[in-house]
Chain A
Amino acid sequence: MGEKVLMKGNEAIAEAAIRAGCLHYFGYPITPQTEIAAYMAKRMPKVGGVFLQAESEIAAINMVLGVAATGKRVMTSSSSPGVSLKSEGISYIAGSDVPALIVNVQRGGPGLGGIQPSQSDYFQAVKGGSHGDFMKIVLAPSSVQEMASLTSTAFDLADKYRMPAMILADGTMGQMMEPVELPETEPNTFDKPWALTGTKGERKHNIVNSLYLKPEELEKTNFERFARYKTIEENEVLYEEYLMDDAEICVVSFGITARVAKNAIVEARAKGIKVGMIRPITLWPFPKKVLRAAADKCKAFLSVEMNMGQMIEDVKLATECKKPVYLCNRTGGMIPSPEEVLAKIVEINEGGDK
């Protein structure tokens, strides 16, 4: 690792991607993620890479599909409304079994919404978010350092499992600066015998395709893909536990709201309330096992998110509704304050939701 530098979250993603061997970036301007494109526009020509501002988000994701099919690392980035436009392409990427990275620096919605930070694309990110049976790996950084490190993780997982991976950040994570150490090591490489490199007359043609007109074949393909997903759920779950050893109340939160919740937890602990946090780092695969285990120890859960309550559904599923799950949320670009989260924790500690 190199020296610590102050970087914006968006810039950290861009630099980490280049260091992960991603030399192709396609995008379209949208606040609050434009720094990624700006950084790429500056850096790519200097490292022999390609930066291309596409005519639309739709074109950009399809350019990503094109590069991904050749086996090279490639990414795009956008913010909420732009990611909706990319959703068709993401489904094709999943259906064609090619790896690619999509970054969503979320802003408030629906519609054009606003430009302030949000987590309201959670459903879109983790529940497929486009047509067809598929999942994508979804990573939720909670610091600028993680914006960088999870970017290389995302490329590795995408390559390993031949599927789309997404960094689900938000406007705060994208805009804030924190010290970050970037990797100096060579990126991991993966064999890609399926890649379109030209047959060179040496092999049968490779076809990257998501069309299966015979339902038996499409079903088989989907079964195979979901078997792979099962392996991912077994092996690739990432989460952070914070003060969970003796916790009676378990906060569940990701990204920027996990940071806010930490402040509240420190305050609550000072009041003698036994509260901790499980912070999912992979939103898909969701850390179900650790939450299920926590449901046996804790008396209540509190989902803290910047939407109308989306992840809370996964918390309820993971904990099998063994214990009450409360919600502390703001939406539309508003960020909950530590005081709001603390008040909720106190309320739960005193016997529940008032």
Chain B
Amino acid sequence: MVVFEKPKTLTDAPLHYCPGCTHGIIHRLVAEVIDELGIDGRTIGVAPVGCSVMAYDYFTCDFIQAPHGRAPAVATGVKRADPENNIVFTYQGDGDLAAIGTAETVHAAARRENITVIFVNNAIYGMTGGQMAPTTLPGQVTQTSPYGRDVETVGYPVKVCELLQNVDGAAYLERVAVNNPANVKKAKKAIKKAFQNQLEGKGFSLVEVVSTCPTNWGLTPQKALEWLEENMIPYYPLGVYKDIYAEEAK
């Protein structure tokens, strides 16, 4: 008999996320992985500033809330405080990780900091009400790009996996999506690998999850998934961008 249960690592607190938002799925995947690896008692999460700022309420493991963009630096401190015990992950959005926190992201990767980064890319600032993000697509309309993102004046989106590919310290980079069951399964596999890498001391592992924001995209959840498939995934192709250990094994 298969019983569909809530992962042990999720609390009973009701999620505050909007209908159709993929944060819920990603939270669940992280929690399932923590359960499966049996590391809930030694895991410490780092919450960002953004929609997932209150992630600390949803996970049963210890948690710290970091200043905007600084989660990789805070995680570095938490990890280095007790590297043998502490399993540390950050959970960050696109504004947090790829705009204000670019330096912290790149340098944590460059140090091959032994942490796991879950990067949720939905191409918009959700919490502040739908402003242009570093990952907003060319032509995409947001509150602060009301005529569509004009790359001539505001520049191009930041492709995080591609960017970090060239950082020697980065150990594992994969871009996934949670738009259908098959992709959800792949996403979980990637997240699990990113945690396993940390357990094995393999260093900086980042999983980028291409996600939706129905509310701020102004679409129904279903339409948002379609928009993601038609626009986001072509611009942000899914796949493994770096896996130094797999490359070594070849």
A and B touch in the complex (CB under 8 A): yes
Q: Which residues of B contact A55 (CB under 8 A)?
A: 103-104, 106-107
| Shortest Cβ distance from residue A252 to the other chain B in the assembled complex, whole angstroms | 36
- Whether a CB of chain B sits under 8 angstroms from the CB of A304 is no
Interface segment, A57-65, A259-267, A272-280? A57-65
- Whether a CB of chain B sits under 8 angstroms from the CB of A66 is yes
Q: Mark A182-210, 1 if CB is under 8 A from B, else 0.
A: 00000000000000111111101111111
- Whether a CB of chain B sits under 8 angstroms from the CB of A92 is yes
- Whether a CB of chain A sits under 8 angstroms from the CB of B118 is no
Interface segment, B39-47, B202-210, B227-235? B39-47
Contact of B77 among A26, A56, A88, A198 (CB under 8 A): A26
- Whether a CB of chain A sits under 8 angstroms from the CB of B222 is no
Interface segment, B54-62, B140-148, B169-177, B236-244? B54-62
- Whether a CB of chain B sits under 8 angstroms from the CB of A52 is yes
- Cα separation A64 to B63 with both chains bound (whole Å): 16
The total of interchain contacts (Cβ-Cβ below 8 angstroms) comes to: 136
User: B53 near A211 (CB under 8 angstroms)?
Assistant: yes
| Shortest Cβ distance from residue A55 to the other chain B in the assembled complex, whole angstroms | 4
- Cα separation A55 to B73 with both chains bound (whole Å): 9
Q: What range describes how many residues of B lie at the interface?
A: 35 or more
Q: Mark A18-60, 1 if CB is under 8 A from B, else 0.
A: 0000001010000000000000000000000010101110111
User: B67 near A67 (CB under 8 angstroms)?
Assistant: no
| Shortest Cβ distance from residue A53 to the other chain B in the assembled complex, whole angstroms | 10
- Cα separation A202 to B61 with both chains bound (whole Å): 11
User: A67 near B80 (CB under 8 angstroms)?
Assistant: yes
Interface segment, A69-77, A118-126, A132-140, A341-349? A69-77
User: A209 near B74 (CB under 8 angstroms)?
Assistant: no
- Cα separation A308 to B176 with both chains bound (whole Å): 57
| Shortest Cβ distance from residue B47 to the other chain A in the assembled complex, whole angstroms | 8
Contact of B41 among A62, A64, A69, A202 (CB under 8 A): A202
Q: Which residues of B contact A302 (CB under 8 A)?
A: none
Task: Pick the 5 closest A-B CB pairs, nearest first.
Answer: A66-B77, A62-B73, A55-B107, A198-B42, A70-B81
- 7 extra A-B contacts, CB within 8 A, seeds A54-B73, A89-B70: A52-B76, A55-B104, A62-B66, A67-B77, A70-B82, A92-B66, A206-B62
